[in-house]
Amino acid sequence: MFTRNSDSINSKSSLDQTSAEETSEPVEAAPKSKGGARETVISNDLTIHGNVASEGIVRLEGTIIGDMNCSSLVVENDGAIAGNISADEVKVHGRVEGTVHGKNVMLHSSAFVEGDIYHQGIGIEMGTQYDGRIKWVKDAEEGQRLSSQKGAPIGNDNAPHAEAAE
């Protein structure tokens, strides 16, 4: 289920007067990613309730209340997701509330992230608001396994533990 801001529904565009089939000009295709998949933009007037999956790049300017699974996700300044993210590349400028699984994760200074991050490479800019745990994993399966163990420590289980001083 998704909803659009009522302002966008009431606005008229040139497509309302002429269909694409009636024009002699070709319709411009959306940009393609490296793998040939198109970029999907979820605009700032759109809220999606439910899980979203894409094989390509997703640019989130709106809101998702549900999980996101794609090859690459960019959460823009106005973008927000309340759910888990699974992507090879994750760039956050906006708001994320949920677990992030990504090979490469970048939290920009405008980001607000609340949740655990399982990654193979991470960057965090000064000014990022982050509350959660960060864990390097060797692959996505390890990250999924660790995040499914609720309440389990996120740290290295093989690391020596410091003894409390008396």
**Strands (DSSP E) along 26-99, which ranges?**
40-42, 46-49, 52-53, 57-60, 63-65, 68-69, 72-75, 80-82, 85-92, 95-97
Global model pTM greater than 0.85: no
Percentage of the chain beyond pLDDT 70 is 66
The pLDDT score that the predictor gives to residue 145 is 76
Reported as half-sphere exposure (CB side, CA atoms, 13 A), residue 70 has a value of: 24
Bridge-partner residues for 42, per DSSP?
60
Query: How do residues 90-129 score in pLDDT, each as one tens digit?
Result: 999 999 999 999 999 999 999 999 999 999 999 999 999 9
> Is residue 72 scored above 60 in pLDDT?
yes
Smallest Cα–Cα separation from 42: which of 84, 86, 14, 8?
8
Q: Are 116 and 97 in contact (CB under 8 A)?
A: no
